[in-house]
Amino acid sequence: MGFKLLPGLISLYLLVWGTCALDHSDLNTRSGTLSPRGRRLTFGRTRSDIKPRQANGNAPRDVTDSETLIAKLWRENEDLVNQFLDVEFLRFQAENPEKETLPSYQYYSIQDYFYLVDFVQFKALRMTTYSEFNATQLLSVMNTEAPSVEHSVRDAWAFRNETLAGDLSIPLEDIDNRQRAGAELAYADWLQKNLDLGWFTLHVMTIPCVYGWGVVADKLERSNTTLKDTIFYKTWIQANNDPSYGQKLSDFLEAYKADYDSADANKSWTAVFRQALQFEIDLFNSALGKSLTSP
């Protein structure tokens, strides 16, 4: 898929690579080594010195409500959440021996690698949507988000070289010559072409991946039908069964929700949450019955 780099982003990419490429001291790791699963690390870091502007003059809702935005969306969209928590592809991977599941897991994982690459572009674009005209405040945002982009680049490389080529034994030429599937194209295209929804909403879009994957992984870990001697268990369930990524995203959303909250904003957040859930479901299930020999 991909998209054309907008002229205004050229200087942004120069900033990302110029300021971050030499700093490898803060690489996302687990137990001192790169995680075998890369997707959830793409959220990156958000510091408390980022102060979003009031959105369109809308008065914030009651911030004393103890229910988090993620909990509210999870509760109010139970129909689609339940589908997400019981995706056929993941259930098949968890409950069947590796000789039956590896071909489709290899196929899916390449598509997930493409998503990681496309998500790097999305994060770079997302930086341009922060509505702050004060130069110093804008710089503080970029100081946090630019390194996050660079971390995601390194994570995508690691996923290609260590998980796909290493753990899953996929030849690099098969990875690099594979075409994006329709489900991955649709997901990435949706992310990259909805920048007008704004900086905060573009973070809401990541809830199913960053928070939801942890919930699914925990459910599969606890299931007595999950096999624990497979490469899927090692590189997906174990690697994603960590609530810290989802908690970090929730803390970020709660810290800045009031600055963007309104009735219209809540409608948008529900819509993008549901759409992201559906894209996740479709991307998983697009690999059912597939293998490296599939077109």
The model's pLDDT over 203-229, given as tens digits with 9 standing for 90+, comes to 999 999 999 999 999 999 999 999 999
Share of the chain above pLDDT 90, in %: 69
This prediction's pTM: 0.80
Q: Which of 46-60, 195-209, 256-270 has the lowest mean pLDDT?
A: 46-60
- Using alpha carbons, list the distances in angstroms from residue 286 to 1, 88, 90, 268, 280: 17, 10, 11, 27, 10
Please tell me the predicted confidence (pLDDT) of residue 265: 97
Please tell me the predicted confidence (pLDDT) of residue 139: 85
57: left (phi over 0), alpha (psi -120 to 50) or beta: left
Contact between residue 253 and residue 68 where contact means Cβ atoms under 8 Å apart: yes
**Mean pLDDT of the region 89-115:** 98
- Specify the length of the chain in residues: 295
Indicate whether 174 pLDDT > 80: yes
Higher pLDDT, 98 or 65: 98
Q: Which one, of 105, 91, 43, 44, lies nearest residue 225 by Cα?
A: 91
**Residue 237 neighbours by CB under 8 Å, 6+ apart:** 94, 217, 220, 221, 226
pLDDT in tens, 134-172: 788 788 878 888 888 999 999 999 999 999 999 999 999
Higher pLDDT, 31 or 295: 295
Please tell me the predicted confidence (pLDDT) of residue 243: 95
**Residue 274 neighbours by CB under 8 Å, 6+ apart:** 77, 80
**Mean pLDDT of the region 10-37:** 34
